[in-house]
Structure 1
């Protein structure tokens, strides 16, 4: 997952099956007077909260150390639902495909690169510093990363180099970066148009099908068969947003939903086992993936334009910093509230989520709002 809140406005050149209404007032208008898709901001936060539920109550590992016992015992009713929260990442990828296609349409390569880098890096760097400092506190028992690997994490290239991660969630950022590079080279650099985007989606989909059967590590890194159907599906949904009568766009969405539900089941399903409580049924996985596609489709078709509340924009702005810090720092809060103060599990869960949202707002206010525009201006400045 990454922050795609930089541009959730409809493209000014889009051919959509609706016209702006009086409800599309100044608060909803962004670049070139295009209405902002605030429901997309809200869906982004929903996906982030799904992932948080998974990290706090739907898995084992270090979170068990935070609670003192297995989350299965802490949440005897909801732990099985929390396990599906990991699929929030797949929903993020669908949103990302939609928004990156939207924001890259008609934008020169330098501007596209500056926008993406400026949105990703300031909060990411701040989160690495914050998590590193907190995890180094002597009274905590969580695993830490070596100094040299911590420094490497600032490059965002720790995964391909085989180093440990400071932020557990940053594997999604590596998937996002690869998507950005593919989209930039194939669409932004030559110039976005419908035909080029359709061919890009078709060729990538075919590559996914071929790579999935070959099981070649290098090819998998380039093609991303586990994640690509969601990015491609999101791009297809943006084409639907531009023209809901486009049969090729609907075909891209349908094929990649079919592939996406399959790879999601392959990666998230396992037989019921006594020592693994994160059991997810195949039907449940298919349902969550389908709802993710349908939610983005409903937004793209304009069916959720009535969700025009200002607080949704704030929710979208908090999503990326919340996603970056919620896992590791959330475990620290869980340990302090539950084992230190003796608060009940559900109260601890809710207070931890609230604390991470407050921290996300601080990062948004004092890091993103200050440094994102400056970094974007530096990177977008033409060079001789």
Structure 2
């Protein structure tokens, strides 16, 4: 990439909350960043509205049934943006030679293929798709190392660790990394108090504005469990060197402890625009639209251990990571099935972790030898989850 030319960006997951934040940052720096591709899952009208504002060269709708509506809608608006649809089109734009940076913000396992495509092509990859690391972490990191891709995590915790680790990438003097968790909307509750939780209550996060699925994951602490697995792959850390602490203010986003007793922490407001600005400009810094902290308003910072009895999902994730092989992929798939059922009032809040635990106890973990093996494990877990919901 020409150092003086603006970065050409493919934003995959443009209509979600992370996509909205990314576009806000990008719009602040038109001299540095240009949108090449906007992609969405099925929200054709929302994608067209974004195209009217940002004029990308390509617009991709993942659901092929939306192609005609996208193509006609772009034409009706007089836009020169080219319409495309389907997984192949996502992969093509993620790996296109004229794209410098890919923001992988498609939720769930659906984002895996395009994330891997970007990694294979050696892109700067701003990774917001947790499942890529949980489902295929070893494969993704090996692919990135082989191609020279740069992976910058943009979720707040891993981005904080990214900023606090040595710039030269040598982690030998790192004692441990400490992920912070807000505790979600039910922090301090006991298990019996969560039996009648509704989806509306679960998605009402106290600090962050997020999509429904990730909000539920935060409420169960599965989100933190997935982040533990991600950290293991992203930073090459053994499970014994990864800790979790509940920090309800969400000011300290995570910490790195060194052998000399020093601890470095990254602090800031709970706003994804900060981490996206870091990923887009690194090693430079650019304005994100997020103000600095007013320290007179933050007279105390609290930390406490997670309650694994009330929120067993976190321990389930540690267990899956320890088992290895296809276990993390099955954990992710089981959780996606359970959360979807909960949001549709087909499963109780406590039933989410119960379904995941039942699946992990029943299904055999196999070597994660290939993407096909991981995807097969994903399908087995989803089939188990569907049958579990039918019979419980």
What is the TM-score with the length of structure 2 in the denominator? 0.25
Bigger share in helix: 1
Bigger share in strand: 2
